[in-house]
Amino acid sequence: MFKKILIANRGEIACRIIRTAKQMGIKTVAVYSEADRDARHVVMADEAICIGGAPSSESYLVIDKIIDAIQKSKAQAVHPGYGFLSENASFARKLKAKGIAFIGPGTLAINKMGDKIESKKLAEKAGVNTIPGHTEALKDTRQALAVSKRVGFPVMLKASAGGGGKGMRIARNEKEVREGFEAAKREAKSSFGDDRVFVEKYIEQPRHIEIQILADGHGNTVYLGERECSIQRRHQKVIEEAPSPFIDEKTRRAMGEQAVVLARAVKYVSAGTVEFIVDAKRNFYFLEMNTRLQVEHPVTEMITGLDLVEWMIRIADGEKFPLSQEDIKLTGWAIESRIYAEDPFRGFLPSVGRLSRYVAPPENPHVRVDTGVYEGGEISIHYDPMIAKLISYGKDRDEAITHMRQALDAFYIRGVSNNIGFLAAVMAHPRFVKGKLTTNFIADEYGDIFDAADVLHDDPNMLVAVAACLHRAYQERAASISGQCSGHERVVLNDWRVLLQGKSFKARVVPVAAGYDVSIEGASDPQEFHVRTDWQLGQPLFDAQINGHRIIMQVERNGPAYSLSHAGLGVDVLVLNEMTASLYELMPEKVVADTSRFLLSPMPGLLMSLAVKEGQMVSGGDELAVIEAMKMENVLKAERDAVVKTVHATPGDSLAVDQPIIEFE
């Protein structure tokens, strides 16, 4: 077995690989950019070597710098993780030439499967179901239009070297083909250095389902079941699960067998994933093959009991995988939620900054957390905004969802915006609970912006009860302060008025052993809550048994209000005495500043281009500017007809959130 391996990656996947390597008794070498000098993977590894500047083009993507680090450390093998150089055949070839093992497939598989056009041709030849389309790179917009008309709208414009949702555009008409083709080419060139784009038929109401395969160098290739990856936003996976609630045993076997056939066609060795699009009738079509470890691999590990990273390492060292297809058993259910530094209330735009608080839920047989960050660490604009992957496990899907909901409620992050509330809302959505999923789920149910008003809480009165308990606890502390004037001591009341989302509730709070009993009167019938907790003032997580059920809620005192977050809903609650409540109702509402005359930058990023100039008339839907953030292009369009009064920024400017770009008359 290898004595030392180098991880040519960063973040949570580098930490994930290091963890397995340590369990195997293998020393690890981390590489890092200047921006990652204090990163978690650097601390976890046995050795760490700096390989360049913050941009990945100056560090993690520079093959010669990685090879220099390998030679300095005398590592015998390299695990590339995912992203960066993980599917770079030139990198694998250079490692082989220097006698260094690449923990991944051979260059034949990487080359053939790394090109979406070539992989589709090979799949067709191998007898794998493929999507109708045009498998040649498009020369220009004119050809893109002609081919799209022939294939039939809607179509998908896709970068040949693409991945992670980059370089992909859905086009439902000729106008969208013109706009999408050029945008896909630019994005592909920026992300992959390859601007080839092709077109294929877009399958309506599709599911994205993938098959995990594992192949050794001794001729044994098996499939490890499927993963449902249909919950996506802008073609990027958000929630994954294994198995799929849609796939039956017959379809699973057919998809698995085709995945194995394709793997054998390119002499595949290592872990890999064959992705399929599946329609409502369980017809499935080959999408692409990822010749690397997938982000969502933990859900497969949870239901098979196999450590995929361990077997990648063992297979790279020449070991034989000991299990046959008949030995592979799928047990239970697993779900993964990707926790990103992004703001769901601002169109899911990336958020950067320092993690002032980071408290992950404790790991146990039902909860796993894969992360590359720590409290006090920084989320940089230079890399993917992922904070962590949260994985839950249960004997069935309902139990896995329950564990995920509790774990999301207990995941406490401050300092950067994050999508935990959104993920919790999805977990509680009736359509998700029923397993009625498509890749359009988020667009259909939430649109481009997550609105907390759309979140329906199971029991709003419970939030009222918790707020009343919090207020009672703070009042009790205030009443215990020494030095109060005799005869004017603070009296703690039992009866309060609670204001929540425009509604008023009467709450009676009575202290009992290990908690409170709360009775609520308000918009619905009177309700009793028996709250039992050892929560202490100032703790961010309110962990309690309420009417016999465990509830974890994030709580903060926010001036006169209490901020509560639970099950995807975040609300500010006021708890007042009767006199204060009657006076509060007379207070005027604060008028929000009018920014409708400005185009503001919705995220921190680079202004790539401006499509207008001062004095120009624009119509609703016209392109105004393009901002690049996290290697993704974001097109800003006019919301209405207007005249450009002043242009406040120029292409090449680094923009802050809400920085004015254009002012209209």
The per-residue DSSP string of 335-386 comes to EEEEEESEEGGGTTEE--EE-SEEEPPPPBTTEEEEES--TT-EE-TTS--E
Looking at residue 404, which CATH number applies to its domain?
A: 3.30.470.20
Pick left, alpha or beta for residue 353 (phi over 0 → left; psi -120 to 50 → alpha; otherwise beta).
left
Same domain assignment for residues 228 and 266: yes
Q: Is the peptide bond before 460 cis (omega within 30 degrees of 0)?
A: no
CA dist., res. 89 & res. 102, Å (int)? 10
- Contact by Cβ (8 Å): 65, 75: no
∠ CA 64-66-72, rounded to 5° = 100
CA dist., res. 507 & res. 649, Å (int)? 53
Whether 224 maps to a domain, the answer reads yes
What SS3 state is found at 185?
Answer: helix
Whether 54 maps to a domain, the answer reads yes
Rounded to the nearest 10 degrees, how much is the dihedral formed by the CA atoms of 54, 15, 306, 304?
-80
Identify the pLDDT of residue 631.
Answer: 64
Q: How many beta carbons lie within 10 A of that of residue 619, not counting itself? A: 10
Whether 485 maps to a domain, the answer reads no
Tell me, what DSSP letter sits at residue 454? Answer: G
Pick left, alpha or beta for residue 335 (phi over 0 → left; psi -120 to 50 → alpha; otherwise beta).
beta
CA dist., res. 144 & res. 136, Å (int)? 11
Identify the pLDDT of residue 513.
Answer: 94
CA dist., res. 525 & res. 178, Å (int)? 57
The count of domains in the chain is 6
Q: How many beta carbons lie within 10 A of that of residue 625, not counting itself? A: 22
Same domain assignment for residues 382 and 252: no
Question: Exposed/middle/buried for 644, CB within 10 Å: 0-12, 13-18, 19+?
Answer: buried
Same domain assignment for residues 356 and 307: no
Same domain assignment for residues 150 and 194: yes
Identify the pLDDT of residue 213.
Answer: 98
Pick left, alpha or beta for residue 463 (phi over 0 → left; psi -120 to 50 → alpha; otherwise beta).
alpha
Q: What is the pLDDT of residues 253-307, one digit of tens each?
A: 999 999 999 999 999 999 999 999 999 999 999 999 999 999 999 999 999 999 9
Which of the listed residues 331, 366, 389 is the one where a domain comes to its end? Answer: 331
Tokens of 485: 């004037």
Is 288 catalytic? The answer is: yes
String of b and e for 258-285 (b: at least 16 CB within 10 Å)? bbbebbebbebbbbbbbbbbbeeeeebb
Low-confidence residues in the chain, pLDDT < 70: 163-164, 522-525, 630-631
Same domain assignment for residues 61 and 188: no
Identify the pLDDT of residue 381.
Answer: 83
Same domain assignment for residues 50 and 159: no
Identify the pLDDT of residue 447.
Answer: 85
Same domain assignment for residues 268 and 121: yes
Identify the pLDDT of residue 187.
Answer: 85
Looking at residue 33, which CATH number applies to its domain?
A: 3.40.50.20
Whether 111 maps to a domain, the answer reads no
Same domain assignment for residues 228 and 301: yes
* Residue 76 structural domain: 4-103
Whether 484 maps to a domain, the answer reads no
Considering the candidates 187, 240, 288, 336, report the single residue annotated as catalytic. Answer: 288
Looking at residue 531, which CATH number applies to its domain?
A: 3.30.700.30
Phi and psi torsions of 26, nearest 5°? -100, 130
Whether 454 maps to a domain, the answer reads no
CA dist., res. 597 & res. 496, Å (int)? 43
Tokens of 167: 């370089």
Identify the pLDDT of residue 632.
Answer: 74
CA dist., res. 238 & res. 236, Å (int)? 6
Pick left, alpha or beta for residue 356 (phi over 0 → left; psi -120 to 50 → alpha; otherwise beta).
alpha
Whether 616 maps to a domain, the answer reads yes
Identify the pLDDT of residue 164.
Answer: 65
Which of the listed residues 528, 558, 584 is the one where a domain comes to its end? Answer: 584
Which of the listed residues 158, 175, 201 is the one where a domain comes to its end? Answer: 201
All residues at 6 or more sequence positions from 207 whose CB lies less than 8 Å from its CB, including other chains: 228, 230, 244, 246, 277, 278, 279, 437, 438, 439
Phi and psi torsions of 163, nearest 5°? 170, 160
Give the dihedral sign, CA 645/650/651/653.
Answer: negative
Alpha helix (H) ranges present in 24-88?
40-44, 63-73
Same domain assignment for residues 313 and 279: yes
What SS3 state is found at 585?
Answer: coil
Whether 244 maps to a domain, the answer reads yes
Q: Is the peptide bond before 154 cis (omega within 30 degrees of 0)?
A: yes
Same domain assignment for residues 403 and 538: no
Identify the pLDDT of residue 235.
Answer: 85
Same domain assignment for residues 391 and 411: yes
Same domain assignment for residues 602 and 521: no
- Contact by Cβ (8 Å): 533, 515: yes
Kindly list the distances between the CA atom of residue 149 and the CA atoms of 25, 145, 158, 160, 195, in Å, as whole numbers in the listed order.
58, 6, 16, 20, 22
Identify the pLDDT of residue 512.
Answer: 97
Q: Which residue has the tokens 């790394």?
A: 114
Tokens of 91: 């990198």
